[in-house]
């Protein structure tokens, strides 16, 4: 009886707990529904604001052309291969895509799916015209017309790896994209309003003033980073946006939020075509259409709602409680069926659905107005007359501002500043009020070597790190190489010299170089700045000439080592082998050392106690000219030394610019 009563009481308590939990879950569901409803209403308002701004500007500029129909027919793509793979290819070429066809309509969101190496990213690049067109066969039409250069400006491409400048905020990143890609004639206030509307639309207002961050530097989250990358492309109101695995690296919840956001954005009329890898079911069904690929060959293209029915008609049925997307990938690679990829491809080719997607013509579709066709043709004429949306100097100013913000975060990094100041402090301690002539000679050599070497080693990492970002931005017509290079070098000439200047002043004041002459100080600083600039130029040269970062680092360290040996301190020129006495003339360290030796010693006399007997001649007092002669620098004076340092600085920058142009050519 007692046991029964206890059991009954436990059941009552348990039932009450279950009821409380159910009520709590219902309350949470209601709260989540209300929150979701608020977010949807906010999103719709932001979308309306963004659409109104876009429509208003486009109507003024005669650019309001949306993709009503996007057709691609029998697309094939092959690439040249090297090495062992060449023996397995036909005439050194490997087939990446074979006879891919499809039709996409306004506001569609299309998923490209397939196992790794199936050609998803390659198809995206072909559709976006981002590959060498001589390797592509087939036809692509937009609104019934062949794709031309004018359409490339109306396309966006979001890469799998979100390359952005780490020291910029989210708002700055999108704003600089707006300034570089939107017409120069558009008022800045309009661009700012458009950026704010887009931040609202992408739910980025909370992190708008947070820095992007990088590895080792805390920044925004992965989902916020991906939405920022999408915003960079959406700011131009593109007609088509291609996305390469936008959910890669995101957790399942963030991935769903990202794809749901893209689906909401289709109400703008934008077409989204995205490669995606192993999505969960509710992500998969967000897409309107899916294109399944196996080894570059299509096995299905059509509605996501009909894909399982199609495979059922082929005798392939999805098991209960199975993610359809995972099952489809298993089917394609043949893990769960008796059919392999080639059989599925043949079955798709012979199906009536495949015949429908393969039929597209060069004539405008019946539902596309003649006005749209005229607008596209007019756009082609406009593009023939102008290649860039902004002028050379406008690009320079915008890129200078952007580069200065990025550089300031690097140049004034606490570790960098502390390292330079500690080096200066150590020099001041070791050479404090140095009076011995040999000590002064060693101090001057270390002075012309340390900061230029440090600058070259730092700068050589710039272009290999930013090359991919630069090529992506240039492929969208954002800017030319000239303004980019000029802005980069000018920003580094300002922000990058502040801390080294403090270093130079500390050494000058505490290490016995001070003479009381103002002109002496400014000439000293001129030589120091010229050496730092040349070291920077030398780093730029290797950074632009060599695309591989470890190789660029190795070449900088190796070649500067030879310049140090030829600098005249360790081995005077007169002691070099006869066939190598020309080597110092190629070393900017030699010329800088010559200049600062002439500045410090010419016209001065020193007590004989400042050196060992006969070290700098038999005369007493010791003349500065004797010091210069004995160290082997009597053939180059202050003017020639400083002039040659500046010459090498200019030459290295010119070479850096040439190599940068060569190594960043785009295929657009």
351 shares its domain with 487 = no
Residue 416 is assigned to a structural domain of this protein = yes
| Regions of the chain where pLDDT drops below 70 | 1-65, 82-91, 335-341, 352-387, 409-413, 495, 609-618, 666-668
d(CA 238, CA 229): 14
Under DSSP, is residue 591 helix (H, G, I), strand (E, B) or coil?
helix
Chain center to CA of 470: 6
| Neighbour count for residue 521 (Cβ, 10 Å) | 17
CB contact at 8 A, 241 and 266: no
Residue 153 is assigned to a structural domain of this protein = yes
CATH of the domain at 158: 3.40.50.300
> Which structure tokens are listed for 165?
């400048």
d(CA 395, CA 401): 10
Residue 1 is assigned to a structural domain of this protein = no
100 shares its domain with 243 = yes
Residue 304 is assigned to a structural domain of this protein = yes
The pLDDT, as a whole number, for residue 12 is 44
326 shares its domain with 439 = no
Tell me the per-residue pLDDT of 455-493, one tens digit each, with 9 for 90 and over.
888 888 888 878 888 888 888 888 999 999 999 888 887
Using the CB atoms, write b or e for 334-358: b if 16+ within 10 Å: eebbebebeebbebbeebeebeebb
Domain end among 381, 416, 445: 381
Average per-residue pLDDT for the chain:
81
Residue 395 is assigned to a structural domain of this protein = no
**Bond from prior residue into 621 cis (ω within 30 degrees of 0):** yes
Query: Phi first, then psi: what are they for 289, rounded to 5°?
Result: -135, 160
226 shares its domain with 143 = yes
Residue 143 is assigned to a structural domain of this protein = yes
The pLDDT, as a whole number, for residue 477 is 82
Query: Phi first, then psi: what are they for 459, rounded to 5°?
Result: -70, -30
The pLDDT, as a whole number, for residue 76 is 92
Give the residue from 463, 458, 455 showing the smallest Cα distance to 547.
Answer: 463
Rg (CA), the chain: 33
The pLDDT, as a whole number, for residue 531 is 94
418 shares its domain with 302 = no
Strands 109-113 and 289-294: parallel
> Which structure tokens are listed for 1?
């009886």
346 shares its domain with 425 = no
The pLDDT, as a whole number, for residue 244 is 92
425 shares its domain with 342 = no
480: Cβ contacts below 8 Å, ≥ 6 apart:
388, 392, 395, 474
d(CA 188, CA 182): 10
Q: Residue 105 burial (CB < 10 Å; 0-12/13-18/19+)?
A: middle
Q: Residue 18 burial (CB < 10 Å; 0-12/13-18/19+)?
A: exposed
Q: Residue 550 burial (CB < 10 Å; 0-12/13-18/19+)?
A: exposed
Question: Which CA distances in Å does 324 have to 115, 260, 368?
Answer: 14, 18, 35
d(CA 607, CA 621): 5
CB contact at 8 A, 566 and 583: yes
320 shares its domain with 418 = no
**pTM (two decimals):** 0.79
In the chain, the number of structural domains is 2
Question: Which CA distances in Å does 116 have to 122, 284, 412, 488?
Answer: 12, 17, 43, 38
CB contact at 8 A, 606 and 437: yes
> Which structure tokens are listed for 271?
């077409």
d(CA 422, CA 433): 18
The pLDDT, as a whole number, for residue 589 is 93
Structural domain boundaries, residue 512: 407-663
341 shares its domain with 412 = no
Give the residue from 431, 398, 441 showing the smallest Cα distance to 596.
Answer: 441
318 shares its domain with 420 = no
Total number of residues shown for the chain? 668
| Neighbour count for residue 575 (Cβ, 10 Å) | 9
Give the residue from 109, 95, 105, 82 showing the smallest Cα distance to 138.
Answer: 95
Question: Which CA distances in Å does 97 have to 116, 119, 328, 347, 506?
Answer: 14, 6, 20, 18, 63
334 shares its domain with 432 = no
d(CA 325, CA 405): 44
**Bond from prior residue into 349 cis (ω within 30 degrees of 0):** no
Question: Which CA distances in Å does 339 have to 13, 309, 345?
Answer: 56, 17, 10
Show the CA angle centred on residue 69, arms to residues 66 and 74, nearest 5°.
135
d(CA 616, CA 631): 9
Residue 52 is assigned to a structural domain of this protein = no
The pLDDT, as a whole number, for residue 667 is 56
Residue 17 is assigned to a structural domain of this protein = no
107 shares its domain with 198 = yes
What residue has token string 């495979």? 311
Give the residue from 516, 512, 462, 503 showing the smallest Cα distance to 484.
Answer: 462
């Amino acid at each position: 009886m007692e046991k029964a009563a206890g059991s009954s009481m436990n059941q009552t308590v348990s039932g009450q707990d279950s009821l409380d939990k159910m009520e709590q879950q219902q309350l949470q569901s209601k709260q989540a529904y209300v929150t979701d409803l608020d977010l949807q209403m906010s999103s719709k308002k932001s979308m309306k604001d963004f659409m109104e701004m876009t429509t208003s500007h486009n109507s003024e500029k005669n650019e309001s052309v949306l993709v009503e129909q996007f057709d691609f027919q029998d697309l094939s793509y092959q690439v040249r291969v090297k090495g062992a793979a060449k023996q397995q290819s036909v005439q050194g070429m490997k087939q990446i895509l074979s006879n891919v066809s499809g039709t996409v309509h306004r506001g569609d969101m299309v998923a490209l799916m397939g196992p790794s190496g199936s050609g998803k990213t390659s198809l995206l690049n072909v559709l976006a015209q981002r590959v060498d067109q001589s390797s592509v066969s087939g036809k692509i039409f937009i609104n019934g017309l062949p794709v031309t250069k004018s359409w490339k400006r109306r396309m966006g491409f979001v890469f799998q790896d979100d390359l952005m400048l780490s020291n910029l905020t989210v708002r700055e990143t999108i704003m600089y994209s707006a300034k570089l890609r939107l017409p120069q004639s558009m008022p800045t206030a309009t661009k700012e309003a458009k950026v704010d509307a887009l931040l609202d639309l992408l739910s980025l207002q909370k992190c708008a003033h947070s820095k992007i961050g990088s590895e080792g530097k805390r920044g925004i989250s992965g989902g916020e980073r991906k939405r920022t990358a999408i915003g960079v492309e959406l700011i131009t109101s593109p007609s088509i946006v291609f996305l390469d695995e936008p959910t890669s690296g995101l957790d399942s919840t963030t991935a769903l939020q990202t794809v749901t956001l893209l689906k909401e954005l289709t109400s703008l009329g934008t077409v989204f075509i995205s490669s995606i890898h192993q999505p969960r079911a509710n992500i998969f069904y967000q897409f309107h259409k899916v294109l399944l690929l196996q080894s570059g060959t299509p096995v299905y293209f059509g509605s996501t709602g009909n894909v399982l029915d199609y495979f059922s008609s082929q005798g392939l049925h999805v098991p209960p409680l199975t993610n359809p997307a995972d099952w489809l990938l298993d089917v394609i690679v043949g893990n769960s069926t008796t059919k392999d990829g080639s059989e599925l491809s043949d079955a798709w080719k012979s199906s009536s659905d495949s015949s429908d997607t393969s039929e597209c013509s060069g004539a405008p579709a019946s539902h596309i107005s003649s006005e749209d066709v005229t607008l596209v043709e007019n756009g082609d004429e406009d593009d023939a007359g102008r290649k860039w949306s902004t002028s050379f100097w406008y690009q320079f100013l915008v890129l200078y501002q952007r580069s200065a913000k990025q550089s300031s975060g690097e140049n004034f990094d606490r570790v960098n500043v502390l390292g330079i100041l500690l080096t200066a402090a150590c020099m001041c301690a070791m050479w404090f009020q140095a009076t011995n002539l040999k000590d002064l000679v060693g101090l001057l050599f270390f002075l012309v070597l340390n900061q230029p070497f440090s600058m070259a080693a730092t700068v050589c990492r710039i272009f290999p790190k930013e090359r991919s970002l630069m090529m992506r931005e240039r492929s969208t017509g954002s800017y030319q190489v000239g303004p980019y290079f000029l802005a980069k070098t000018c920003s580094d000439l300002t922000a990058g010299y502040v801390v080294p200047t403090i270093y130079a002043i500390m050494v000058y004041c505490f290490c016995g170089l001070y003479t009381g002459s103002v002109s002496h100080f400014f000439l000293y600083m001129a030589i120091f700045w010229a050496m730092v600039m040349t070291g920077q130029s030398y780093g730029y040269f290797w950074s632009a000439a060599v695309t591989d970062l470890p190789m660029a680092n190795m070449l900088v360290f190796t070649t500067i080592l030879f310049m140090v040996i030829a600098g005249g301190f360790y081995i005077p020129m007169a002691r070099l082998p006869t066939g190598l006495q020309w080597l110092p003339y190629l070393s900017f360290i030699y010329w800088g050392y010559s200049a600062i030796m002439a500045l410090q010693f010419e016209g001065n006399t020193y007590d004989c106690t400042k050196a060992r007997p006969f070290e700098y001649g038999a005369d007493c007092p010791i003349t500065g000219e004797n010091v210069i002669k004995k160290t082997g620098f009597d053939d180059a004076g202050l003017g020639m030394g400083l002039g040659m340092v500046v010459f090498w600085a200019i030459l290295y920058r010119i070479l850096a610019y040439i190599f940068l142009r060569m190594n960043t050519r785009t295929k657009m």
